Every structure is written in C-alpha cells, then in structure tokens.
Amino acid sequence: MMVLLLDTFVRYLRFEKRMSDHTIIAYKTDLSQFIHYMKATYDIEMANEVKSIHIRSWLVDLKELKQKERSLQRKISSLKSWFKFLLNRTEVTENPTVQITGPKAPKRLPAFLEQQQSEALFATPDYAAGFEGLTEELIMELLYQTGIRRAELIGLLEQDVDPYRKQIVVLGKRNKERAIPIGAGLLVLIKNYIAEKKAKVSTEHNFLLTLESGKPLYDQYVYRVVKKYLQEVTTLSKKSPHVLRHTFATHLTNNGANISAIKELLGHSSLAATQIYTHNNIEHLKKIYQQAHPKAVKDE
C-alpha cells in the first residue's frame, strides 16, 4: 500500500538524504494528499496502479482549487522524487511522473534591505536590557554579517568560532560544513557574549547562543527578534531572518563580490540558486541610472 511506502520514503529522506524536518514535512504533506486523492477518486491504493493520467487529474483538481504555481511545482517535485525512489527500489515497474511537467511560476526577487536601511538598522538599535539584549544583538549581527540561515544560527556551537582564523564554521544543509570569515568587531561581540553567558547563565549545552533561562534558541524566538527590529526600518511584508540573508548576499553583489564566492558563503549547492542576486543587482543598477543619468527617462 502507498501509505506504507510513504513511511519508508520518509525514513529514507531523514536518515539517508539527511533532509531537514521542514522539507520532510512538506514532502509528507504533499504525498499524503496525493494518496488520499487516489483512494477517494479512483480507489487506488497500490503505487504500481498509478498512471500519468491519474496524476494529471489530481493537478487539474488542485488548479481548480486555486493552488498557486509554486505550490503545484512543489507537489510535482515531491511526486517525482517519490516515484524515482520507488522505481529504484523496484516497488513500481515504471515512473508515471516522467511526462508530467509543472506550470512556470514567475520569478520572485528576494526581499532585502537597501543599504541605508541596513545602516539605520544597526546605527542605534534599542536592544533589550541585560543578557537578553546581548543575545538579540548577536542574532542580528550574525545573520547580517555572515548570511547564515536561521537553523544554522541556532545550531552554532562555541567551538565553531575560530578566533585565530577569524571565521565561523557552519553546519549547513545535508550536513555540509563551510567556513565563513567574520570581522574583528563581530569577533569581539562573540567573545564578550561568551564571557557574559558563562558569568550569568547556567546551561547544559554548548550552543553559542542561548536564552536567559539557559535553554537553546528556537525558530520562533529568532523570528520574533528579527521581525521586531526590521519593522523599525522597513515596510517589507516579509520580515524574517531570511531577509537578512538576502540582504547579505545582495549587498555583496552590489559591491562587486564574485558570484561564485557568494555561492560558497551562502552554502548553495549550485550556482543557479545564487544567480537570483544578479537580478537584484541589475535592478539596483537600473535604479541608480534612473536617478543619476541626465538622459534617463524618469518614471512618472
């Protein structure tokens, strides 16, 4: 039955592919919806009975329910990965997703802070008093100065900070490590934070950042901290930690950094994921041209 095969696939994603919990939940949700549809609509419970026509029928129904293009693309990707897995394990004799293609979604440029907004963000921030404020400051500075992901920030250990090489070592997706250089100012902030933590907080872990209670940081805490300070300098609808990651990469691009170097700093597996920042750079140059060139056609 497909339900049992899905459980096997989830274990494969977790223990062999080492995907994040967030990604695994997305796969499981998409495939559970598909399995339910196959049973309810066609009374199909076995994976080897699924044909491409059944998949197209499901996608049409989703489209009629106003599912967005990106959501449909993700569901198709989930199905393709699953049936490729089943084919490799000889659970099916053919892959019904081979002829399935998804709708093209419009490219969305990443949300980021303009240079003057980031300068305002760190000019005179009103951080909370005491150790909580130190934690908030280090969260903001690390996210902007290194471009690390929220999960990577939470997972940083004290021993990941190398003061001699002036770098931090980050454990990224698929357990891939990468070294990111840090400036002298950030290094001093980290050293002071560790000293204050040892003096005032009792912990049973070795994570770099911690709550005042001594417990490790968690996703929503980091999100709330970032949102609190971003809303003081921007009207962007998104105010998540990823905005600071996008800002890090965009500012590097705008200031002439090599796209391959940015790829390594961000921990992207392919250059294609990083090239979105070249689009941001083009838009940035267009804006400068419109504002500065005497022959530019000004927008009404």
CA-CA-CA-CA torsion sign (196, 197, 198, 200): positive
Q: pTM of this prediction?
A: 0.68
Q: What would the pLDDT profile of 135-155 be if each residue is shown by its tens digit?
A: 999 999 999 999 999 999 999
Whether pLDDT at 227 is above 70: yes
pLDDT attached to residue 298: 56
| Residues forming a β-bridge with 167 | 162, 181
The three-state secondary structure class of 290 is helix
Q: Is residue 231 within 8 Å of 114, Cβ to Cβ?
A: no
| Residues forming a β-bridge with 180 | 168
To which residue do tokens 């440029």 refer?
109
Rounded Cα distance between 250 and 255, Å, is: 9
Amino acid at 140: M
Rounded Cα distance between 118 and 138, Å, is: 15
- Residue 278 or 7, more confident: 7
Q: What would the pLDDT profile of 37-71 be if each residue is shown by its tens digit?
A: 999 999 999 999 999 999 999 999 998 998 888 89
Instruction: Count Cβ atoms below 10 Å from residue 150 Cβ, excluding itself.
Output: 20
Q: What would the pLDDT profile of 150-199 be if each residue is shown by its tens digit?
A: 999 999 999 999 999 999 999 998 889 999 999 999 999 999 999 999 99
Instruction: Count Cβ atoms below 10 Å from residue 214 Cβ, excluding itself.
Output: 13
Rg (CA), the chain: 23
Q: What would the pLDDT profile of 249-283 be if each residue is shown by its tens digit?
A: 999 988 888 899 999 999 998 888 888 887 666 66
pLDDT attached to residue 70: 84
**Where are any strands of DSSP class E within the chain?**
161-162, 167-171, 177-181
* Residue 237: DSSP 8-state: S
Residue 187 burial class via C-beta count within 10 angstroms: exposed 0-12, middle 13-18, buried 19 and up:
middle
Q: Is residue 222 within 8 Å of 153, Cβ to Cβ?
A: yes
Q: Is residue 146 within 8 Å of 267, Cβ to Cβ?
A: no
CA-CA-CA-CA torsion sign (35, 40, 44, 45): positive
Rounded Cα distance between 38 and 46, Å, is: 9
Whether pLDDT at 300 is above 60: no
Rounded Cα distance between 273 and 255, Å, is: 19
Rounded Cα distance between 153 and 139, Å, is: 8
Q: What would the pLDDT profile of 87-115 be if each residue is shown by its tens digit?
A: 999 999 999 999 898 777 666 778 999 99
Full set of structural domains in the chain with CATH: 2-88 (1.10.150), 115-291 (1.10.443.10)
Residues assigned a catalytic role:
149, 173, 242, 245, 268, 277
pLDDT range class, residue 293, cuts 50, 70, 90: low
Rounded to a whole number of angstroms, the distance between the first and last alpha carbons of the chain is: 61
Q: Is residue 124 within 8 Å of 137, Cβ to Cβ?
A: no
